[in-house]
Amino acid sequence: MNEQPIDITHSDEPAVDRRSFLKIAGIAVGALTVAELGGIGLAYLHPRTAEGDFGSVITAGAVDDFPPGSVTHVTNGRFYLTRFDDGGFLALHQRCTHLGCTVPWDQATEQFVCPCHNSQFDDAGSVLNPPAPRPLDRFAVTIDAGMVLIDTSSAIARDDFDGSQVVYA
């Protein structure tokens, strides 16, 4: 009996038929889409902490840029920098402690007046008029080589204003 070897290296049938190919391609596209959406979601949730942005340490300026008795809005840091008459600095979050509206400084009345429900705060962020339940939050201030640095990575809640919150050059 003469046996012939079977050629298994060549076949007329494709290794993957059309239906299987489409199924694999569909799964691959689906997985890619999920991965991409996940990446976009993580990028959205990741805090922006580039230097100079809210969430980082921000250089507000030189000490002498802020005259005593002034309130300066530092918009990229989302805070106000109060310099009291005695030269001390206090950085106040612009966010109202009632429901979070941005609070503008009114130079005419020398108060922060919330446009949402009319809470009012003095230049130290203390509540003059409710419904705000507590003073404006503050940020840590340091003075280094004549420059005023504000750490906006975390707002510091407080029940009252006291002198220990003021930083001097």
What is the rounded CA–CA span in Å between residue 84 and residue 124? 9
Nearer to ligand FES, 3 or 159 (CB): 159
What is the rounded CA–CA span in Å between residue 80 and residue 90? 8
What is the rounded CA–CA span in Å between residue 124 and residue 168? 15
Site for ligand FES in 50-109 (CB under 6 A): 96, 98-99, 101
What is the rounded CA–CA span in Å between residue 154 and residue 72? 20
Minimum separation from the CB atom of position 44 to ligand FES (A): 25
Stretch that binds ligand FES, among 26-34, 44-52, 110-118, 161-169 (CB under 6 A): 110-118
Give every CB contact of residue 112 below 8 A, 6+ residues apart in sequence: 80, 92, 103, 104, 105, 106, 120, 121, 122, 123, 125, 136
Q: Draw the binding track, 133-162, toward ligand FES (x: CB under 6 A; -: no contact).
A: ------------------------------
What is the rounded CA–CA span in Å between residue 71 and residue 59? 16
Minimum separation from the CB atom of position 99 to ligand FES (A): 4
Minimum separation from the CB atom of position 100 to ligand FES (A): 6
In this structure, what token pair is assigned to residue 49?
A: 């902490």
Nearer to ligand FES, 61 or 131 (CB): 131
- Of 116, 128, 156, 169, the one binding ligand FES (CB under 6 A) is 116
List alpha helices for the chain, DSSP H: 18-45
Residue 132 interacting with ligand FES (CB under 6 A):
yes
Residue 25 interacting with ligand FES (CB under 6 A):
no
Q: Contact positions toward ligand FES, by CB under 6 A?
A: 96, 98-99, 101, 114, 116-117, 119, 131-132
